[in-house]
Every structure is written in structure tokens, then in C-alpha cells.
């Protein structure tokens, strides 16, 4: 599948024109991952955003006991790695390929250049990120509420 066609179905680029998608696709790089290969490591600097092209990945965070807690399984067209490129903090989770996987890697400096050159695309992307983050925050709030509603023997 052509990179621009993949980007078209990713919510981050919803409503983007063909020219805008072409500009983003020019800075995207295809990476092939083997099962168990790490694409993002918790605590490392975030320098790229990723779009899952094929396969699947697991998103996990370290718990206090140093065990990894899987937070999500991502599937094709899912976006990941976007938090660290927005706030320039270390990666908050580790993302590992669950099977043979292909991802599109978009380096933050390259994406920033594309967005700086096209204010309309920048607005679309930032609005899409706001929607994505709101949905994730709502989901996290629901999980927190469900967890806090457990009887004491199941809690912290």
C-alpha cells in the first residue's frame, strides 16, 4: 500500500489534501520489525511518531515492581509515539512488535518542517491530536473509575 494511501486513513491526517499527504509521505520511512523487536523504549527521548502499517505491537509501561504492564495492543493504522514529540519528554512506554510488523516512522523535525510550511495542515493535525488525546483521557478515566470501584481486597 502506498504511503499516502495509508496516511489518508489515519485520523491524524483526516481531511488532508493529496498534496498535504504527499508532503508527509516524503518524510515518512518504512521500518520492518521482527517479533519481539522494540521500536520505542520507555525513558528514551522521543524523536519520531509512528503509524502501524501492518502487523501489531504491544504498548507496555514499567510498574513499581519493574514488571511490564501491557496497556494496549495496536493494529494497522494506529498512531503511537506522538506524546513525546509534542511535549519533548522521555517516552512514557515501550512499544514492541508482537509479530512481523511494518511501521511508518516520521521524524519529528521533518514533520515539524512540513507543518510549519503548511498552516492548514498544522491546524488539522493539532485538532486531530486534541481529539485523539481526549478519547484516550476519557478511556483512562473510565479505567481509573472501574479500578477505584473495586472492593478493597482488589485495590492498591
Higher pLDDT, 66 or 12: 12
Provide the mean pLDDT of the chain.
Answer: 90
Q: What is the CATH number of domain 3-149?
A: 2.60.120.10
**Which span out of 1-10, 38-47, 131-140 was modeled with the highest average pLDDT?**
38-47
**Banded model confidence at residue 150, pLDDT cuts 50, 70, 90:** low
If we measure between CA atoms, which residue out of 19, 2, 16 comes closest to residue 53? 2
The strand pairing partners of 4, in sequence order, are none
pLDDT at residue number 100: 98
- Average pLDDT for residues 75-98, to the nearest whole number? 90
Smallest CA-to-CA distance from 81 within 46, 123, 117 is with 46
Q: For position 152, what pLDDT does the model report? A: 64
Query: How large is the average pLDDT for residues 75-102?
Result: 91
**C-alpha–C-alpha distance, residues 34 and 147, integer Å:** 34
- Distance separating alpha carbons of residues 13 and 21, to the nearest angstrom: 8
Query: Any idea which of 71-75, 82-86, 123-127 has the lowest mean pLDDT?
Result: 82-86
pLDDT at 1 over 60: no
Predicted confidence at residue 139, as pLDDT, reads 85
Domain edges within the chain: 3-149
Nearest to residue 156, comparing CAs of 23, 85, 65?
Answer: 65
Amino acid at each position: 500500500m502506498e504511503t499516502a494511501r495509508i496516511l489518508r486513513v489515519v485520523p491524524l491526517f483526516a481531511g488532508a489534501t493529496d498534496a498535504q499527504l504527499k508532503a508527509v509521505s516524503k518524510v515518512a520511512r518504512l521500518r520492518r520489525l521482527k517479533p519481539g523487536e522494540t521500536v520505542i523504549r520507555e525513558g528514551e527521548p522521543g524523536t519520531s511518531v509512528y503509524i502501524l502499517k501492518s502487523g501489531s505491537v504491544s504498548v507496555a509501561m514499567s510498574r513499581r515492581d519493574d514488571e511490564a504492564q501491557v496497556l494496549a495492543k495496536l493494529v494497522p493504522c494506529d498512531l503511537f509515539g506522538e506524546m513525546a514529540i509534542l511535549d519533548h519528554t522521555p517516552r512514557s512506554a515501550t512499544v514492541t512488535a508482537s509479530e512481523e510488523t511494518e511501521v511508518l516512522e516520521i521524524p519529528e523535525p521533518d514533520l515539524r518542517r512540513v507543518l510549519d510550511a503548511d498552516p492548514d495542515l498544522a491546524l488539522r493535525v493539532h485538532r486531530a491530536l486534541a481529539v485523539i488525546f481526549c478519547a484516550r483521557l476519557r478511556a483512562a478515566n473510565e479505567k481509573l473509575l472501574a479500578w477505584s470501584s473495586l472492593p478493597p481486597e482488589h485495590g492498591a
